[in-house]
Structure 1
Amino acid sequence: MEETTTFHGLGHLFITIFLYCFSSFIVAPVITDISMAALCPGKDECSLAIYLSGFQQVITGVGSLIMMPLVGSLSDKHGRKCLLTLPMTLNILPLVTLAYSRGATIFYMYYVLKTLTSIVCEGSVLCLALAYVADNVPEGRRASAFGILTGITSCAFVCANLSARFLSIGVTFQVAAAMGILSTLYMRLFLPDSIRDNSLGAPIVINEKLSSPLLEDCPGHRNRIFRAIRLVHEMASLMRSSVPLFQVAMVSFFSSLAEAGLHASSMYYLKAKFHFNKDQFADLMIIVGASGSISQLLFMPVLVPALKEERLLSIGLFFGCAHMFLLCVAWSSWVPYMAAIFALFSIFPSSCMRSIVSKQVASYEQGKAQGIISSICSLANVISPLAFSPLTDWFLSERAPFNFPGFSIMCAGFAMTIAFIQSLMIRAATPISVMGSP
């Protein structure tokens, strides 16, 4: 009976994530055209759009850095479903704004709303979904389950971009808002809360200072301050006490730094060099999403038992490097499409890292652990635009010191190479450390 309940719970989670991701991804191919039409009409290169995108990424990253461990920790105590409601609801607001109109004034309203809501929404839904899966799936099958979850997001990515390819811009945002509302309602009506068994594990490493009752007894705002300090201490204690977790944290930082740099640069690079529009962006994203879906749903369940998460992580990072280095020297408009096929393997790292982390902590701290890794990724998202946005603008403009429009993407490839080298050193066959007691 319990296995049946767990199966239905994961099924409802996967449907929820599909609907939510569909609403988020369907706007991805069109947002570059909307931004440049509102800020720099008639141009293929726009410094203001690049810097505004980078600023939004910085603010989102700073907010997520603070929010992710807090959201994960609160979900350990109050349930994943309760904490999912807030980001899924907030995500609807900016979509509704551009569904109404797409003039310059409305675009700035969207920009402000998107920046503020992303502080809570960016990464938190996936973080809580990963914790939900860890609650309900045995350790030995967890990597495959994480891969299936990532495959579901890739399927949503493909379906969303395929829809955007044939819809007008106005209808695209209307569909996005409707799917965002539907995903929230579905989650509230059908998703059961996690099945968590706090007796499954006890912490191996306990920091008595951090578990002092003084932190629990302080009233009001002092209690909240102590709890925030405790989260920071737990993060530092976790990194010090477990070599595999420290290594995963380093890999997640540099891989996220590279991916954020690629995300910040690639669409403006393709727009400036090959004059891509929403249809070409959608085609490119469909290839990436389809490759990722096939890989996560078909290849990963077979490869994880044979190769283990650590080796699969390194393989994925290697192909991530290859993708970036090929894209940065693209000599024709068909090269980005060929590079996108590397997503067959470059999509592995996220699931592998989350699986390694989940095996290092107790069952009642999955939300906190996933939140900490998400916050490290958010830190990378803060740093990345500070470096890559100016580089992108510089090398796409007439002020470039030499003719290399893909220079910022090459730099992102070097960051991914650091992550790849670090991943070769990870040895995490058995759990080594967990965080403090609840």
Structure 2
Amino acid sequence: MEETTTFQGLGHLFMTIFLYGFSAFIVIPVMTDVSMAAICPGKDECSLAIYLSGLQQVITGVGSLMMMPLVGSLSDKHGRKSLLTLPMILNIFPLATLAYSRGTTVFYIYYVLKTLISIICEGSVLCLALAYVADNVSEGRRASAFAILTGIGSCAFVCATLCARFLSISATFQVATTMAILSTMYMRMFLPDSDGDNNLAAPIVSNEKLSSALLEDYPGHKNRISKVIRSVCEMASLMKSSVPLFQVAMVSFFSSLGEAGLHASSMYYLKAKFHFNKDQFADLMIISGVAGSISQLLFMPILVPALKEQKLLSIGLFFGCAHIFLLSVAWSSWVPYMAAIFSLFSIFPHSCMRSIVSKQVASNEQGKAQGIISSICALANVISPLAFSPLTDWFLSERAPFEFPGFSIMCAGFTMTIAFIQSLMMGSP
């Protein structure tokens, strides 16, 4: 009976993540075109768009760096479901803004709103979902459960991107807004509290009074915030004292730095070199998403018991490096499509790192530990645009010191290589 309840809870969590991911992913293929149409209409190269994207990433990363450990720690105390509510509600507003209009003025309103809200929302839903899974799944099955969660996200990515491929830009944002609202309603109505939530003294939120409960727990209660900060510092000390946790932290930082560099540069690079538009971006993402879904839902549950997380981590990082280096030297428009197939293996590290971390901490510290890893990824997202946005702009412009449009992407590949080398030095988790 208890296993059935747990299975149903995970099923509702997976559906929540699918709906939320769909709303977030469906707008990705169109954002480059929307941004450039609002800022630099009629152009295939736009320095301002690149720098605004980088600035947003820096601000979001700094905010996430501060917020993720706090959100994770509060979820250990007040429950995963309660903390999920806030970012899922806030996520609706930027999407609704562009669903209303995509003119220059409205775009800048969206830009400010999205940047501020992403400080809280960026990564928090995934972080809390991972902690929820850790609450309800035994250690031996946790890596497979994390892989399924990631696979559900990949399925949402594929479905959303496929829809974006055939929808108009205005319809895309309308659908995204509707799905964001639906995901929040579904989560509040059907997702049960996790096993860890049942032992809480008092919830942070009720269905009726989310805002007032949050205000009671944050401003004016400096002692509570100080306790949370101290607990985060203790977890950081644990990262240093525990060799596996420290190694995962290093791998997480450099792999996230490489991924962030790739994502910050690749779309502008492909648009400038091969004149890609939203349809080509969508096709590329569909290939990558399908490969990632197959990998996480079918391969990972089979390979984890046989090879363990550490070996799969190294394999995934190796193919991640290959993907980035191949894309950086793309000589034809079909090469990015071939490189996207490497997502079949390059998606391994996400689930593997989270599983290794979850096995190193107690059950009442899962949210805090996942939050720390998320904050490390956020730190990489802060550093990445500072380095890669100027490089991307420089080597896509006529001012480039030599002809190599993919130079910034190759530099991202070097940082991923550092993560790969570090993973080879790790012992068994």
> 2: distance between equivalents of 1:235 and 1:45?
44
Instruction: Report SS of the residue matched to 2:360.
Output: coil
Cα distance in structure 1, aligned partners of 2:155 and 2:136: 22
List structure 1 runs of 4+ shifted beyond 6 angstroms: none
State the aligned residue count: 410
- Output one character per residue of 1:340-387: Cα deviation in whole Å (capped at 9) or x when no partner: 000000000000000000000001110000000000000000000000
**Deviations for 1:256-275, whole angstroms, at most 9, x for unmatched residues?**
00000000000000000000
Which position in structure 2 is the counterpart of 1:376? 376
DSSP-derived class of the 1:196 partner = helix
- Determine the structure 1 residue equivalent to 2:229: 229
Deviation at 1:222, TM superposition (A): 3.6
CA distance in structure 2 between the aligned counterparts of 1:133 and 1:12, rounded to whole angstroms? 11
Q: CA offset at residue 198 of structure 1? A: 9.8
The 2-side partners of 1:193 and 1:99 are apart by: 33
Which amino acid is 2:71 matched to? V
Where does residue 33 of structure 1 map in the other structure?
Answer: 33
CA contact (8 A) 2:135 2:363 kept: yes
* Residue of structure 2 equivalent to 1:317: 317
Q: Which residue of 2 aligns with 1:433?
A: none
What CA deviation, in whole Å up to 9, does each residue of 1:232-256 have, x standing for no partner? 4213311222001000000000000
Instruction: State the distance in 1 between where 2:64 and 2:319 align.
Output: 28
Quote the Cα distance in structure 2 between the aligned partners of 1:272 and 1:197: 50
TM-score, scaled relative to structure 1:
0.92
How far off its partner does 1:196 sit? Answer: 2.3
**Does the 8 Å contact 2:80/2:197 carry over to 1?**
no
Question: Match for residue 157 of structure 1?
Answer: 157
Q: Which position in structure 1 is the counterpart of 2:183? A: 183
Structure 1 gap segments, 5+ residues each: 200-218, 430-438
Tell me what 1:388 maps to: 388
Cα distance between partner residues in 2 of 1:235 and 1:400: 44
Q: Give 3-state SS (helix, strand or coil) of 1:129's partner.
A: helix
The AA in structure 2 aligned to 1:185 is: M
Q: CA separation of 1:14/1:197 partners in 2, compared to 1, >3 Å: closer, same or farther?
A: closer
Alpha-carbon deviation of 1:106? 0.5
Distance in 1, matches of 2:240 and 2:73, equals 20
TM-superposed CA distance for 1:229, in Å, is 3.5
Q: Which residue of 1 aligns with 2:44?
A: 44
Whole-angstrom CA distance in 2 between matches of 1:228 and 1:403: 50
For 1:67 and 1:424, locate their aligned partners in 2 and report how far apart those are by CA, in whole Å. 31
* 2:416 is aligned with 1:422: no
What's the counterpart of residue 352 of structure 2? 352
Give TM-score scaled by structure 2 length.
Answer: 0.94
Partner of 1:194: 194
Contact 1:155 1:289 in 2 (8 A): yes
The amino acid across from 2:340 in the alignment is A
Aligned to 1:333: 333
Change (3 A) 1:222 1:188: closer
- The answer on whether the counterparts of 1:20 and 1:183 sit within 8 Å (CA) in structure 2 is yes
Contact between 1:133 and 1:145, CA under 8 Å: does it hold in 2? yes
Identity level (%): 85
CA distance in 2, matches of 1:175, 1:159: 12
- Per the alignment, residue 286 of structure 1 pairs with 286
Deviations 1:69-111 (A, max 9, x none): 0000000111100000000000000000000011000100110
